[in-house]
């Protein structure tokens, strides 16, 4: 290998090493960010519930600072306008039951919990459709626009794969709806359905593994560059 070719390959290996090292550092930074996020969410989940944000605070509500915050609201459920969203849980496949809660001043979509396929029809769980004023406590969740991966919501056919607050509100003719929804807690409903309190608060944390992988590849690139530098001209 000529000196020119050797130098070119060595330079390429060094550039690759620098890029791989940068990726490793970025993953370590992401790891710190993820741990801070988990700590913040854990604090919100276990905090004393606060009033669900009303219209005056909607512009400031965002997933970064408010997701999984414990909130509470009092109102009347509109069971005649519930929406079923397909779900897969530890209890098997079924549906989330999203029901509008009419509170003083605004309407709040509440994910009351999970029902299996044989309880899809509201007539199969009439005991759980509580009438009158009720207090709901749960976790604030960000809207899930459009649908799930490769499965778009179809409001016309009433087929829902994600909890898209705006689309559901439009399909059900709801006005002044909060731009978020609430996952109800595990307080039991009469008759046992829907089953609340199934929110999964878990964030994947593979950043250290990724960082070590990038650093290992960086070391290999540096070794390759060093070996090229030591090859004698031919």
Query: Could you name the CATH architecture of 69-192?
Result: Beta Barrel (2.40)
Helix (H, G, I), strand (E, B) or coil at 71: strand
**Domain assignments of the chain as residue spans, ordered by start:** 3-41+206-230, 69-192
Instruction: For residue 233, report the phi and psi dihedrals to the nearest 5 degrees.
Output: -65, 145
Buried/exposed code over 207-216 (b: 16+ C-beta within 10 A; e: otherwise) = beebbeebbe
Spatial CA neighbour of 85 closest among 204, 176, 183: 183
Buried/exposed code over 179-196 (b: 16+ C-beta within 10 A; e: otherwise) = bbbbbbbeeebeeebbbb
pLDDT in 10s for each residue of the chain, 234 residues: 567 777 777 788 888 888 888 988 888 888 887 777 677 777 787 889 999 999 999 999 988 888 889 999 999 999 999 999 999 888 889 999 999 999 999 999 999 999 999 998 888 888 888 888 999 999 999 999 887 777 889 999 999 999 999 999 999 999 999 999 999 998 988 888 999 888 877 767 788 888 889 889 888 888 887 777 766 555
Instruction: For residue 203, report the phi and psi dihedrals to the nearest 5 degrees.
Output: -125, 125
Spatial CA neighbour of 68 closest among 90, 97, 38, 95: 38
pTM for this model (two decimals)? 0.76
Name residues whose C-beta falls within 8 Å of residue 102's C-beta, 6 or more positions apart in sequence.
Answer: 75, 76, 77, 78
User: In the prediction, which pLDDT does 53 show?
Assistant: 94
| Cβ–Cβ under 8 Å, residues 164 and 136 | no
């Amino acid at each position: 290998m000529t000196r020119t070719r050797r130098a070119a390959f060595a330079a390429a290996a060094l550039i690759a090493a620098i890029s791989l090292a940068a990726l490793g550092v970025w993953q370590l930074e992401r790891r710190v960010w993820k741990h801070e996020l988990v700590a913040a969410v854990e604090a919100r989940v276990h905090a004393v519930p606060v009033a669900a944000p009303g219209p005056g605070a909607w512009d400031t509500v965002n997933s970064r600072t408010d997701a999984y915050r414990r909130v509470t609201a009092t109102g009347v459920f509109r069971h005649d306008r519930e929406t079923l969203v397909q779900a897969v849980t530890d209890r098997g496949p079924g549906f989330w039951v999203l029901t509008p809660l009419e509170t003083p001043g605004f309407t709040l979509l509440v994910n009351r919990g999970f029902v299996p396929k044989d309880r899809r029809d509201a007539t199969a769980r009439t005991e759980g459709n509580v009438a009158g004023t009720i207090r709901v406590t749960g976790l604030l969740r960000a809207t899930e626009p459009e649908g799930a991966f490769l499965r778009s919501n179809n409001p016309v056919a009433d087929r829902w794969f994600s909890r898209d607050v705006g689309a559901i509100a439009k399909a059900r003719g709801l006005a002044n709806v909060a731009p978020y929804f609430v996952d109800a807690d595990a307080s039991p409903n009469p008759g046992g359905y829907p089953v609340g309190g199934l929110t999964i608060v878990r964030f994947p944390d593979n950043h250290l593994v990724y960082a070590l992988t990038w650093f290992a590849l960086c070391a290999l690139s540096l070794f390759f560059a060093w070996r090229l530098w030591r090859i004698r001209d031919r």
